[in-house]
């Protein structure tokens, strides 16, 4: 029997990176909604992110997005983040908002445009050098809408050639993580559409290239935990982008749509050695808070991951293995479900308080009046957003 007290040392190792863009305005393809107090600068994004870490102890780093978070002095930005109690993390590239990339970026038939996209990624690595960031995360919108529109194989060849140039620029302690998405904005084919394509590309590059798994980037019914297991088994799971989806890439608060799926994923992470700083697997959020307030939305998200991680750690793996070996179908499932249905919220609240954190971070943050203060202070300028 696994007890909550026996897992607290492991829980204390949890770190979930926040995305800077989640604090900006977002919405749908039809409308981006503004909110009073939305950050106007990357510094204000970091200040909001620091609030999440202060109340949860779970979010010590913030991912940057280039060019949305470009500044003149990245060393100074890193120093500012440190003053706030957080650090700069993953650097995300952007090759999906430039007119030149209408028909592709790293896969484009035009060598000039491919070189432009490559140079953007090399700039991102320069930024990583200045910030001390480990990971360059690449998500590509490249693909086609109609059969016959593009040479599918040629695009894969060009993708490899482009990625190889980027990979060769990485420092000894830096990594390239390649994200996949099965559709949107390309609807007939996407150049990096699934974990197998991402794996094939990064495996060809070398040991510093890994797969990034976004939990919202799968068709309904996909067994995501199986993919997690396989990538861990192959040593190629580099990072997660945690979010939820009901239909496609909804980018909702992680665990909101299917808490049981999140539990199943995290069980495979823990079972497969993908948890903790020594695993090399980075936990990150990738969400758009369309109608909810951003800071408490991020607090809710990291708490959801923490809660399901605790439940996953409570699975009695020895008893589960014995039941599986004995062919005890219902017994094995019962052991699994018992852990999922265990209510750990009171234990987590008491444990947080023992570490000097509020037992209820959502209520504690709300009581500060932070949202009202930034609404009053952040007047004028241009609010940040992802520009849809």
326-347 pLDDT per residue, tens:
999 999 999 999 999 999 999 9
CATH label of the domain that carries residue 280:
3.20.20.150
- Phi-psi label, residue 186: left if phi above 0, alpha if psi -120 to 50, beta otherwise: beta
**So what's the pLDDT on residue 388?**
37
Q: What is the pTM of this model?
A: 0.96
Answer for the pair 141, 101: CB distance below 8 angstroms, yes or no. Answer: yes
Quick one: CA dihedral 52, 276, 357, 263, positive or negative? Answer: positive
Q: How far apart are CA 381 and CA 154, in angstroms?
A: 45
**Looking at the domain assignment, is residue 308 inside a domain?**
yes
**Looking at the domain assignment, is residue 31 inside a domain?**
yes
**Looking at the domain assignment, is residue 373 inside a domain?**
no
**Looking at the domain assignment, is residue 95 inside a domain?**
yes
**Looking at the domain assignment, is residue 156 inside a domain?**
yes
Residues 3-35: tens digit of each pLDDT: 999 999 999 999 999 999 999 998 777 788 888
**Looking at the domain assignment, is residue 210 inside a domain?**
yes
pLDDT < 50 positions in the chain: 388
The count of structural domains within the chain is 1
- Structural domain harbouring 31: 13-315
Q: Work out the burial of residue 257: count CB atoms within 10 Å of its CB; fewer than 13 is exposed, 13-18 middle, 19 or more buried.
A: middle
**Looking at the domain assignment, is residue 232 inside a domain?**
yes
Helix %, strand %, coil % for the chain, to 5?
Answer: 45, 15, 40
**Looking at the domain assignment, is residue 27 inside a domain?**
yes
């Amino acid at each position: 029997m696994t007890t909550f007290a026996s897992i607290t040392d492991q829980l204390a190792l949890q770190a979930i990176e926040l995305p800077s863009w989640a604090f900006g305005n977002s919405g749908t393809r039809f409308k981006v909604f503004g909110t009073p107090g939305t950050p106007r600068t990357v510094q204000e994004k970091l200040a909001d992110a620091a609030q999440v870490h202060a109340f949860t102890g779970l979010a010590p780093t913030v991912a940057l997005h280039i060019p949305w978070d470009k500044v003149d002095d990245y060393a100074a930005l890193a120093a500012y983040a440190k003053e706030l109690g957080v650090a700069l993390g993953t650097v995300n590239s952007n090759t999906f908002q430039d007119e030149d990339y209408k028909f592709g970026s790293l896969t484009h038939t035009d060598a000039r445009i491919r070189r432009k996209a490559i140079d953007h990624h090399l700039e991102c690595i320069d930024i990583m050098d200045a910030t001390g960031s480990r990971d360059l995360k690449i998500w590509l919108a490249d693909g086609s809408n109609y059969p016959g529109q593009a040479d599918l194989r040629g695009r894969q060849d060009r993708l490899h050639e482009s990625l190889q140039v980027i990979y060769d620029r990485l420092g000894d302690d830096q990594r390239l993580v390649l994200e996949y998405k099965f559709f949107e904005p390309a609807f007939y084919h996407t150049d990096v559409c699934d974990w197998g394509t991402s794996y094939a590309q990064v495996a060809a590059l070398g040991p510093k290239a890994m797969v990034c798994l976004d939990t919202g980037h799968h068709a309904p019914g996909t067994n995501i935990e199986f993919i997690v297991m396989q990538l861990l088994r192959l040593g190629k799971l580099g990072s997660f982008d945690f979010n939820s989806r009901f239909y496609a890439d909804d980018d909702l608060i992680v665990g909101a749509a299917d808490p049981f799926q999140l539990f199943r994923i995290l069980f495979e992470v823990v079972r497969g050695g993908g948890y903790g700083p020594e695993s090399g697997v980075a936990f990150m959020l990738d969400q758009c808070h369309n109608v909810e307030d951003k800071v408490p939305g991020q607090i809710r998200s990291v708490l959801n991951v923490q809660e399901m991680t605790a439940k996953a750690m409570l699975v009695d793996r020895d008893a589960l293995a014995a039941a599986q070996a004995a062919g005890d179908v219902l017994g094995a499932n019962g052991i699994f479900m018992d852990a999922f249905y265990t209510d750990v919220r009171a234990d987590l609240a008491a444990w947080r308080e023992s570490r000097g954190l509020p037992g209820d971070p959502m209520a504690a943050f709300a009581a500060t009046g932070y949202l009202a203060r930034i609404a009053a202070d952040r007047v004028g300028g241009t609010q940040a957003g992802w520009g849809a």
